[in-house]
Chain A
Amino acid sequence: MRLRQKLIAAAMPALAILAALLIVAVMIAGVGESPAEAYRILAQGAVGDWRSLTDTLVKTVPLIFTGLSFAFAAKCNIWNIGAEGQLYMGAVASTAVGVYCTGLPALLHLPLALLAGALAGGLWASIPAWLKVRFKINEVVSTIMLNYTAILVVSALVYGPMIEDPFKSPQTCKILPTARLPVLFEGTKLHAGILLALLACVLYHLIFRHMLFGYRVSAVGKNREAARFSGISVERSICMSMIIAGVFGGLAGAIEMLGTNGLLIIGFSPEYGSDGIAVALLGQLEAVGIFLSAFLLGALRLGATALQRKTDIPQQMITIMQGIIVLFVIAGSAIGRILQNRAAKKEVK
């Protein structure tokens, strides 16, 4: 019985993906393209050869971090929609360290830049955490307001003091080589950020499976009152998980700068923040699930650009697909819960 339930739980995201693929296939057929051909191009563009596979992995890195960011807060039953803002803050802080701290050895410069990004993300996330704990302000609203604010503040910086050349397009100077994440394989873009992402997944798993802190956070997430009655500080758990979520978000931005981009350009993030929500929900807030769904959504994103190049299908198709997947995952787990209750009722009879 329990094994069956576990299987159902694992099969659900797969079913959601399948259903979304089917619906999108119908949409593709609707605009007069062949779905089979489109999916072939998509797969080819995403994982068809060594280069596209490594490119997909590069795309996966920020998605893992923003996914972990949403998931960590969600474990505490708070909803961090603010990964996008935290990512921008992390990006600008790490870029600043990467550009302006000169004369440091790589062994010091790179960790310092990463640290700056993590701290900036964490600090930015501490604002909604404080607003939530102190004034009971809905964190969804506050994180979104802070997303817009972060993007505008970063824009002000990049257009203003951090601009490389006021007469050229708005971007910062290049990050010094000592602060760059090393490329893993010659001739590809895949950098050491993927290792950091894997490490973050392992850490997340450890925290929630084996550590007291994760147990506390889950208890607060599942029943705040009971946690309080057991002597757990609810406020502290909320603040800590929001700040850690912010650290993950900040690292997403930092690694994107230090690994992939090499400098900060306005609009560098194709909504990694909201993609992270899809990643976390599809991955059922579990480390392995988050890794797999980040890879899947990264592959879809990359494949979609190939699709747009070779057919008339706009790459926004993938955003729709992502949304459908998330809706089906939500509907699926709700239906699963209802079915479980029915089963429990039958058992009594």
Chain B
Amino acid sequence: MGKVILEMRNICKTFPGVRANHNVCIDLREGEVLALLGENGAGKSVLMSILDGFYQPDSGEIYIDGRQVRLTSPQAAIARGIGMIHQHFMLIPVFTALENIILGLELKGDPFLRREAYRSRVQEIIDRYGLAVDLDKRVADMSVGEQQRVEIVKTLFRSASILILDEPTAVLTPGESRDLFRVIKQFQADGKSVIFISHKMDELMEFSDRITILRQGEVITTFDTAQTSIKELASTMVGGDVQWAQNVHEKTAGDIRLRLEDVCIRDQREVEIVKHVSLEVRAGEILAVAGIDGNGQNELAEGILGLRHITGGRIYADGEDITNASVKSLLERGFGFVPPDRKSQGLVLDFSIRDNLLLEEMDRPAYSSRGFLRHREILRFAKELIGKFDIRPANPDALVKNCSGGNQQKVIVARVFSRRPRVLVAVNPVRGIDINATEFIHRRLLEQRKDGACIIVVSTDLDEVFSISDRIAVICQGELMGVCDAAAVTPEDIGLMMTGVRKEDASCG
């Protein structure tokens, strides 16, 4: 192993309402791949954003080659050879790849933008690492994989020797992921070091040198990859004290409640993002829709809920045609929705917890009559839900924007679940929240199933898919690859289908 080139010591960072990092220490050696493993919200991304100079730590030191440095900006970081590929790509969609790569470079010298002067140097990097990038294509017209390659070229062009990759495979197909691993091997061969953030243990086992595990903002331990196992990683990552929601596959499924027939959805640009999807979901059953982010699953969920126009096919609930019905009428029919983005879609952040809990209940005669709100009943209702769903702070008048992510999600879940929806659609219901809240929400989902709800969970996380679902539908590029019985299929098969292999061709039953 090479010498230690980077050290972070006792890093602390808090945000309003969240303690993101607490006394975190990590070190990185020359030419190694260090993996950062942890649940969502464990503080990995924040730690790396500090290393990238994007955030300033509240306390703690950073050493490069033994000398203490202050990374006051991403520019300072890249000047020290540290470059980060963010989870959400830092690219301007309306610019070309080349423009994105040279954006902000050499502002002090020649004021004019001479794109051609850079082209050959950029092309050199592209060729060296075999990164397929069309420099004159607008980023908006690129696939996610190509966008990621643009990001990598951009970072390499700024002569990074330490690369930070934040969950790079979350948006990639397995084939693209393998290409990425090959590129990373090439970096290692060139003596570059890589920090790789992930929560997919199998891929870390495959190509990392060491694995550092974070939990709730603190470093738990660091393993040599060769001397550990997935099992050990998993228990360390999660912490021994968590009880997983046990999915007992009770046969509770009843009649078909929701039926999708040949459903198609086009987006604003008239591109078909959901293609001829047909599904049946029964009462008392959880159907998981698995797929890599951005393959049309969110749009499908919104389409079912009347939030997006269905451009083809029909949707039936209890045999009645509900295609393109209004959101309001569907809510009245007993539909419930946990939307993908809680802050922008699920909550009114400037409202109190009470007012957020009321959002879908306001029309009930119990809470409003003749246009007037019944404050006393509303308060009782809010207090009840806060208690039942363990929402903190327990003050109904606290503003939701001051709650932690997990409690914000609990507000949504409380609002939706308390209505005992007959049809429930939840999109990534536990994304970005801590493990206890995750477990809590999963348990509630299973309760809803027991009560006979017809549930669709859209998830990108296979662990989640397998821990709660009865059947799994896999979607890829807007097309349904197949529906499998969760008990009779392996994660590998589902993973294969997520990349576009049809069920008939995968080996599952």
Contact = CB atoms under 8 A, between A and B. Distances in A.
B230 to A, nearest CB: 34
B17 A344 contact: yes
Contacts of A228: 307, 327
Given A228-B327, A231-B328, A222 B14 contact: no
A222 B327 contact: no
A348 B402 CA distance: 11
Interface in B325-376: 326-328, 330-331, 337, 339, 344-351, 355, 358-360, 362-363, 368, 371-373, 375
Interface string A200-233: 0000000000111101101100110111111111
Interface in B367-388: 368, 371-373, 375
A226 B14 contact: no
B346 A215 contact: no
A109 B346 CA distance: 50
Given A223-B348, A225-B344, A231-B328, A212 B368 contact: yes
Contacts of B349: 222-223
A101 to B, nearest CB: 33
A231 B17 contact: no
A4 interface: no
A136 interface: no
Given A216-B362, A219-B359, A229 B307 contact: yes
A128 B217 CA distance: 50
A229 B362 contact: no
A233 B375 CA distance: 23
A213 B371 CA distance: 7
B66 interface: no
Contacts of B397: 2
Nearest to B12: A349
B15 interface: yes
Nearest to B58: A349
A332 to B, nearest CB: 18
Contacts of A212: 362-363, 368, 371-373
Contacts of A219: 348, 351, 355, 359
Contacts of B339: 229
B126 to A, nearest CB: 39
Contacts of B307: 228-229
Given A211-B372, A231-B328, A349-B14, A222 B350 contact: yes
Contacts of B360: 230-231
Main secondary structure of the interface of A (DSSP, over half): helix
Given A216-B362, A222-B349, A231-B326, A348 B16 contact: yes
Interface in B198-231: none
B212 to A, nearest CB: 24
Nearest to A230: B359
B138 interface: no
B372 A223 contact: no
A232 B397 CA distance: 22
B379 to A, nearest CB: 13
A110 to B, nearest CB: 27
B362 A226 contact: no
B372 A210 contact: yes
A265 to B, nearest CB: 40
Interface in B127-186: none
B344 A215 contact: no
> Chain A: interface residue count, which band?
20 to 34
Interface in A175-216: 210-213, 215-216
Contact of B373 (A215, A229, A233, A341): A215
Residue among A212, A341, A348 with max Cβ neighbours from chain B (10 Å): A212
Contacts of A230: 327, 331, 359-360
A230 B411 CA distance: 14
B18 interface: yes
B19 interface: yes
A201 to B, nearest CB: 18
B362 to A, nearest CB: 6
A211 B371 contact: yes
Contacts of A134: none
A345 interface: yes
> Chain B: interface residue count, which band?
35 or more
Contacts, number: 81
B362 A215 contact: yes
Contacts of B328: 231-233
A88 B58 CA distance: 57
A211 B14 contact: no
A211 B15 CA distance: 36
Contacts of B305: 229
A229 B337 contact: yes
A345 B331 contact: no
Contact of A222 (B345, B348, B368): B348
Contacts of A345: 14-16
Nearest to B331: A231
Contact of B18 (A210, A213, A348): A348
Nearest to A227: B348
Residue among B16, B18, B397 with max Cβ neighbours from chain A (10 Å): B16
A76 to B, nearest CB: 13
B89 to A, nearest CB: 22
Residue among A210, A230, A345 with max Cβ neighbours from chain B (10 Å): A230
B18 to A, nearest CB: 7
Contacts of A349: 14, 19, 58
Contacts of A348: 14-19
B373 A210 contact: yes
A344 B375 CA distance: 28
A163 to B, nearest CB: 45
A62 B350 CA distance: 31
A223 B14 contact: no
A264 to B, nearest CB: 36
A160 B277 CA distance: 65
B183 to A, nearest CB: 37
Interface string A321-349: 00000000000000000000100110011
Contacts of A229: 305, 307, 327, 337, 339, 345-346
Given A219-B359, A231-B360, A345-B15, A226 B372 contact: no
A344 B373 contact: no
B326 A215 contact: no
A90 to B, nearest CB: 26
B355 A215 contact: yes
B348 A344 contact: no
Nearest to A214: B373
Nearest to B302: A229
A344 B16 contact: yes
Interface in A249-283: none
Nearest to A219: B348
Contacts of A2: 397
Contacts of B375: 210
Contacts of B355: 215, 219
B363 to A, nearest CB: 8
A226 B348 contact: yes
A258 to B, nearest CB: 29
B1 to A, nearest CB: 37
A344 B19 CA distance: 11
A341 B14 CA distance: 12
6 contacts: A211-B371, A212-B368, A226-B345, A226-B348, A227-B359, A348-B16
The 3 closest A-B pairs by CB, nearest first: A231-B328, A344-B16, A231-B327
Given A2-B397, A223-B350, A225-B345, 11 more contacts: A210-B372, A212-B368, A212-B371, A215-B358, A222-B351, A226-B344, A226-B345, A229-B345, A230-B331, A230-B360, A345-B16
